Amino acid sequence: MSELVGTNVELEVTNVAHGGVAVARLDGRVVFVADSLPGETVLARISSADHKSFWRAEAIEVIEPSAHRRPHVWESASIDRDPDRRAGGAEFGHIELGWQRELKRQVLVDSLQRFAKLDTPLAAEVIVEAVEGDDAANGLGWRTRVSLHVDDQGIVGPYAARSHRVVAVPDLPLATQPVEYAAPLDERVFGADRIDVISDGKRGARVVLHRPEAVDHAGESAAGRGGRGPGKGREGGRGGAAISPGAASSRGSGRSAKSGGNAARSNGADSDGYFSDDNAPRKAASGGYPPNGPAQSRASIPSYTPAPPKPGKQIVERVGEREFRLEELGFWQVHHGAARTLTAALQQQLLPELFDPAAANLDLYGGVGLLAGALADRFGTKLRIESVESDWRATANAEFNLRDVTGATAVTARVDRYLADRVRGVTAAERAALARASVILDPPRAGAGKQVVGQLLDLAPAQIAYVACDPVAFARDLALFREGGYELRNLRAFDLFPHTHHVEALGVLTRG
């Protein structure tokens, strides 16, 4: 059916699907339609017709709009642009903010019903809660980390949705002000293929350039969780001055909407890009346009070439009264309020009647110790807890961050291998301690999976707090837990990624 690709068709959109797209049907075939929403009639362009059970399309014109449609919060991703030039990373930006949360709720509930066979009031009545301050900001200015890409002509920008085409953009409205301010959107870059812009944990941001041949020596957790790199400070607005690699530079005449912020430019190792992590299927990269459109001369854009990679610096983040040290590109929650939100939710949702501070409590996929720290702040620093994380840098930081928790330890290991060792060598006393334990399970987007769930079922802890960033993976794991005798006791969901389809869930499971 490749001859249908590029064809325009009129579609009636009926419901939302996981992945940031809506569902329509054409001659009985399912069509996943981007940039639309349920209740609309749109003119859409077929972009993929090679799958037996479904096609893909992008809306190019709204014939009958939904009452929940709004002008896109990011002009660079608007339906007014050709789909090949729409920036990715804000796939719900055309939907009223409260309705975005309702659509995310529908996806979560549908996933729980479809994959976990969970059709209870607890699941059906869950709501997606806003992070404090997001409604007042219209869901903008929350990203503390942004990954941009560089095309073969040195143009910097996000990928177009579901592609590897770099799109030049003049702004990043989802980013915090220092991160947007520091992003080199109006410069040409050579010798790098990706640029990370990261909040420095204070009032500034760091810019990390990744050379194409760079090897990731610093991924700080499971898939999609980071690397690191250093840099030198600079101040000022975005303007026309070229940047010398590795040197501080003053850059004047930034956009009037911006206020100053300190930014550091550096060269580092590999990490994923949130603007591109859901843009499959991939297509070959091609050039984007300069910020002011194709008529602008590329020669008029400043350019620089990155220096070789150097060791990374550390960042300190604060949640309540507790500080967390992490690597520059190490994993940290992207939304500026997410760590605080998840900390409070875990402290509230974990069942205190089942919590034993002296049990063999575990923080699996523990990163730098954020959630273990939340338990220590809730139940006391004499808590016994072991954080398990696959990257030694994160483990070292977790050990440092939990140094006031007398019973805390940090282990560098893959979670499945760590649990296999515990299952294989467990004594009767250890099994009893594990049976009283509370386990934090915060896996990557793919979920914990059958092996890890099976190992936890073997160890049979008193309660498991599952932190999920993908509703389908969460529901599939929940089905396995239910088969093993666990049930969902409470559930909350959070809108940690406004104007995208992503939703975070936190559920506590207990035996019986």
Write out the binding residues. Answer: 333, 365, 389, 442
Contacts of 442 (CB under 8 A, 6+ apart): 363, 364, 365, 366, 367, 371, 466, 467
Residue ranges for the binding site for S-adenosyl-L-methionine?
333, 365, 389, 442
Residue 401: phi, psi to the nearest 5?
-65, -25
- Identify whether the C-beta of residue 226 lies closer than 8 Å to the C-beta of residue 330: yes
3-state helix, strand, coil in the chain (%, to 5): 25, 30, 50
**Taking the CB of residue 512, how many other CB atoms lie within 10 A of it?**
5
C-alpha span between 379 and 407 (Å, rounded): 12
CA dist 508 → 108, 292, 302, 472, 478 (Å): 16, 50, 52, 17, 10
Burial 158-169 (b: 16+ CB within 10 A, else e): bbbbbbbbbbbb
Nearest to 507 by CA among 494, 490, 486: 490
C-alpha span between 496 and 339 (Å, rounded): 10
Nearest to 183 by CA among 146, 131, 151: 146
**What's the CA angle centered on 211, arms 209 and 213, to 5 degrees?**
155
C-alpha span between 183 and 168 (Å, rounded): 12
CA dist 34 → 73, 185, 304, 422, 458 (Å): 16, 26, 36, 45, 42
C-alpha span between 61 and 11 (Å, rounded): 11
DSSP label at 77?
Answer: G
DSSP label at 487?
Answer: E
Peptide bond between residue 281 and the one before it cis (omega within 30 degrees of 0): yes
Active site residue 259: no
The residue count of the chain comes to 512
CA dist 172 → 137, 143, 158, 168 (Å): 14, 9, 9, 11
- Active-site residue identified among 448, 469, 475, 503: 469
Burial class (CB in 10 A: 0-12, 13-18, 19+), 307: middle
Instruction: Please give the single-letter amino acid code of residue 252.
Output: G
Q: Indicate which residues carry an active-site annotation.
A: 469
